[in-house]
Structure 1
Amino acid sequence: MEKNNNYCVIMAGGIGSRFWPMSTQKFPKQFHDILGTGRTMIQQTFDRISQLIPAENIYVITNQEYVELSQQQLPEIPANNIVGEPAMKNTSACNLYMAKKIENTNPNANIIVMPADHLIMKEKIFLEKIGLALDIVSKNDYLITLGITPTRPDTGYGYIQFIQEKNENYSKVKTFTEKPDLEIAKSFIESGDFLWNAGIFIWSVKSILKAFKRYLPEMTNQFNTCEYNSESEKESMDVIYPTVSKISIDNGILEKANNVYVIPANLGWSDLGTWTSVYTNADKNDDNNAVNSKNVLTYNSKGNVIRIKNQNKVAVIDGLKNYIIVDTEKALLICPRENDQLIKDYVLDLKNLKKGERFM
């Protein structure tokens, strides 16, 4: 298998409103170093996959607003490989766009599609599983997803049910289930034939375009009107995007197709979707506080995630347990960790304030 037939698409279009006030509409979470590693989320994603895929075969699909930010953070990637969508249309549109664009360059391409803002602790296993997947899709008309071995009945993730076969490496997918309630999640874990859906996909250009033609024919026709990798591409997208339906790749294709396979993987994975997941994965001090600033004094305070943007500012915190404390130039958030799902609501309420937009 030739190395240069392998491509990667990093999806980096989200706003990350659950990470307010650090993540804002102008500067979303994938461009932040949320865990304090010295590299931002998107940079870590690039570092990980560039061990397998040459930089000229790595693409970023993001919102037009974040093209410049992506270029600044990933100077290794050719500027033309960083593509801005004119509107947010969920994951079917961006996958079709990138498959068409890469097909135009190399019709024999195999593509890995992955989110820009996920944490993967076990990189070696990840790279092995991706290598296996690329090998499989180069020889078979399969759509492959990586399934994460679940560690708890989490209601925030989608689940993949698979058919257990003799082949240990990968299995046929039976069903996809969006975020279930707790009872259902518990029964999934007990049954032993469910994995978390990490949103990491591997397929050949031929297989995914065949699936689009079959399951989303209208969208396929819309994207066929563009001349890819030409001067007119951006102009075409400005015309195509407003007409395209908003549908996820899971709903649009993977739930319907009968050639979907899953590779179970224990990757030390988190989608870092909430401040609580950041707390879980961050380094903590003796009081179990996850702090990113030297100038924070805590008294009788445990289990807090504390982020102070201004490193010259001192913070004294007394008597808080299991709180999220995030201080940025424009905003201050103090809320119990258990309320981290409400942050989206705070953001909506702020938007309704007369001058709230300034703090987003």
Structure 2
Amino acid sequence: MTTPRGTIERFYSVIPAGGIGSRLWPLSRADAPKFLHDLTGSGNTLLRDTWERLAPISGEQRIMVVTGRAHRAAVEAQLPSLADPNVVLESEPRDSTAAIGLAAAILERREPGVIIGSFAADHVIRNHRLFTAAVREAVAAADAGFITTIGIKPTEPAVGFGYIHCAGPLELSGAPSALAVGSFVEKPDLATAEGYVADGSYLWNAGMFIARADRLLEEIARTKPALHKGLIELAAAWDDPATRGPAVDRIWPRLEKIAIDYAVAEPAAAAGRLAVIPGYFDWDDVGDFASLAKLNSGGRKSDLAILGEDARVLADSSSGIVVSQSKRVISLIGVRDIVVVDTPDALLVTTSENAQRVKAVVDALKLTGSTDVL
């Protein structure tokens, strides 16, 4: 097969498009998760932006999307060039190891020796040139046998992200920036995050993983042999429509639900098999309304960001973010760092400081049986 000009040989992009983005409720719902929304005012959904960022790197015919069965129509409407064999449907969410591992197993059967890169469908990345340069280095490190991630150079002591502690340089051909990973660190408190940024040897964990598919599967086999066995069985049945459905129904619900950070990245780092490429491009995982406000206000805390095609907002001496999907007039007077999300059937009012706590509202709604607004 001819490699399109400018793309990376043997490279396949994988886009896990799952989760509901519960910290962005009530904007993000089970039937309309955050990757299907335009959260930056670009005119594109986050999923479409991800596709356009990856297509020049791997080629449109070498992008695989892993998503839920319920989202297939919406995903295909957003991505009309997505090849049908590259749509991988989950019967239910089983977290990132299962999603990315299945993609790796399918692609390794189709193309032994393939290098895959996993990039979330709901992240915002600016400066595509720097992003592409980081991916090229990550592919070179992966070809050398490392599980590789791209870490983001911190611009502030953020407490909403995990951190990667970098060790010394690896001196790999084609990847001059590659560093060994010392450890992964969970979301820290503010004082700890300030220490990480001052130290200079920590990067934000952006959840991007690049590896030879066979090496990724080896790591899963080491730490989660039962999960690996199920993924291999699924991949063997995948490309035959007669066997795929029964295999998914039988195997998928029994797969362990675990994030790839825990099943692959942390054990690989402990064994010296994980590399990181520092990324110097603007990145955000749009994890809550505070980050969404910052994205849409140019980083100026005094501004009020407004999202919604027909938003009717009157504001005086107010800052924060308003997301409007209704026709109501929203008036704000003298409120700072406010978050207002107005949808036809649910209203959220909080502050940027408490934006991370929105997930607790979603959990409470589940417990009370109010699933009609989820």
TM-score calculated relative to the size of structure 1 = 0.93
**In the alignment, residue 142 of structure 1 is paired with which amino acid?**
F
SS in 2 for 1:21: coil
Cα deviation, residue 319, structure 1:
3.1
Aligned residue number for residue 156 of structure 1: 160
Task: Give me the whole-angstrom Cα distance separating, in 2, the residues matched to 1:295 and 1:160.
Answer: 40
Q: Does 1:213 align with 2:221?
A: yes
**In the alignment, residue 278 of structure 1 is paired with which amino acid?**
L
Q: Structure 2, unaligned stretches of length 5 or more? A: none
Q: Does 1:239 align with 2:247?
A: no
**In the alignment, residue 320 of structure 1 is paired with which amino acid?**
V
Aligned residue number for residue 342 of structure 1: 357
Task: Give me the whole-angstrom Cα distance separating, in 1, the residues matched to 2:257 and 2:133.
Answer: 33
Aligned partner (choices 275, 279, 300) of residue 265 of structure 1: 279
Once superposed, what is the RMSD of the aligned Cα atoms? Answer: 2.1
Aligned partner (choices 301, 312, 331) of residue 317 of structure 2: 301
CA contact (8 A) 1:4 1:54 kept: no
Q: How does 1:271-286 map to 2 (within 5 A)?
A: 271-283=285-297
Task: Give me the whole-angstrom Cα distance separating, in 2, the residues matched to 1:248 and 1:359.
Answer: 27
Task: Give me the whole-angstrom Cα distance separating, in 1, the residues matched to 2:25 and 2:222.
Answer: 40
SS in 1 for 2:157: coil
Listed one character per residue, the Cα deviations across residues 243-277 of structure 1 (whole Å, up to 9, x for unaligned) are 22122111112111221100011111111101110
Cα deviation, residue 339, structure 1:
1.4
Cα deviation, residue 166, structure 1:
7.6
Aligned partner (choices 128, 135, 146) of residue 133 of structure 2: 128
Aligned partner (choices 314, 320, 341) of residue 335 of structure 2: 320
**In the alignment, residue 298 of structure 1 is paired with which amino acid?**
L
Q: How does 1:97-176 map to 2 (within 5 A)?
A: 97-138=102-143, 140-165=144-169, 167=171, 168-176=176-184
Q: Taking structure 1 as reference, are residues 67 and 217 closer, same or farther at Cα in structure 2, changes over 3 Å only?
A: same
Q: Does 1:22 align with 2:27?
A: yes
Aligned residue number for residue 92 of structure 1: 97
Cα deviation, residue 287, structure 1:
6.4
CA contact (8 A) 1:70 1:82 kept: no
**In the alignment, residue 323 of structure 2 is paired with which amino acid?**
R
Task: Give me the whole-angstrom Cα distance separating, in 2, the residues matched to 1:106 and 1:299.
Answer: 56
Task: Give me the whole-angstrom Cα distance separating, in 2, the residues matched to 1:86 and 1:19.
Answer: 23
SS in 1 for 2:57: coil
Task: Give me the whole-angstrom Cα distance separating, in 2, the residues matched to 1:100 and 1:280.
Answer: 38
Q: Taking structure 1 as reference, are residues 144 and 31 closer, same or farther at Cα in structure 2, changes over 3 Å only?
A: same
Aligned residue number for residue 204 of structure 1: 212
Listed one character per residue, the Cα deviations across residues 294-336 of structure 1 (whole Å, up to 9, x for unaligned) are 65342423212111124x5543333332111111122122222
Q: Does 1:230 align with 2:240?
A: yes
TM-score calculated relative to the size of structure 2 = 0.89
Cα deviation, residue 108, structure 1:
2.1
Aligned length: 357
CA contact (8 A) 1:216 1:253 kept: no
Aligned residue number for residue 181 of structure 1: 189
CA contact (8 A) 1:11 1:62 kept: yes
Stretch of structure 1 that moved more, 35-44 or 278-287: 278-287
Task: Give me the whole-angstrom Cα distance separating, in 1, the residues matched to 2:92 and 2:323.
Answer: 31
Q: Structure 1, unaligned stretches of length 5 or more? A: none
